[in-house]
Amino acid sequence: MKIIVLNLNRNLEQKKLEKLFVKYGKVDSCNIVTDKATGRSKGFGFVQMPDESEAAVAIKALHGTQVSGNKIRVKISDNKEEQITNV
């Protein structure tokens, strides 16, 4: 299941994001979306978890929590969000 994580601190490292989710199960991939020109974080990222039940638990546990000073939003990703990152 592909999960989108919104409102990330722009200084958050990919390893830390992955570490948040691995507590709840296997993580296939994790990436923070960056600006192609500057390389800076755009403040959101994606996490891929193969087990839907583990992903659901992670979403419920992490949505609305404080991470590096920001209250993150966590939900199932849909195609619209992926299209935005490809612009």
Whether residue 55 lies inside any domain: the answer is yes
Whether residue 19 lies inside any domain: the answer is yes
Give residue 16's domain range: 2-75
Whether residue 83 lies inside any domain: the answer is no
Q: Is 26 helix (H, G, I), strand (E, B) or coil?
A: coil
Counting the structural domains of the chain, the total is: 1
Indicate the average pLDDT of the chain: 93
Mean pLDDT confidence for 6-35: 98
Q: How many CB atoms lie within 10 A of CB 25?
A: 16
Per DSSP, what are the bridge partners of residue 30?
47
Q: Tokens at residue 73, please?
A: 């939003």
Single pTM value for the model: 0.89
Mean pLDDT confidence for 15-41: 97
Whether residue 53 lies inside any domain: the answer is yes
Indicate which CATH number applies to the domain containing 47.
3.30.70.330
In this predicted model, what pLDDT tens digit does every residue of 35-66 receive, in sequence order?
999 999 999 999 999 999 999 999 999 999 99
pLDDT of residue 34: 97
Tell how many helices (H) and how many strands (E) occur in the chain.
3, 6
Burial of residue 48, with CB atoms counted within 10 A of its CB: 0-12 exposed, 13-18 middle, 19 or more buried: middle
Q: Is the pLDDT of residue 87 over 60?
A: no
Whether residue 86 lies inside any domain: the answer is no
Whether residue 6 lies inside any domain: the answer is yes
Whether residue 85 lies inside any domain: the answer is no
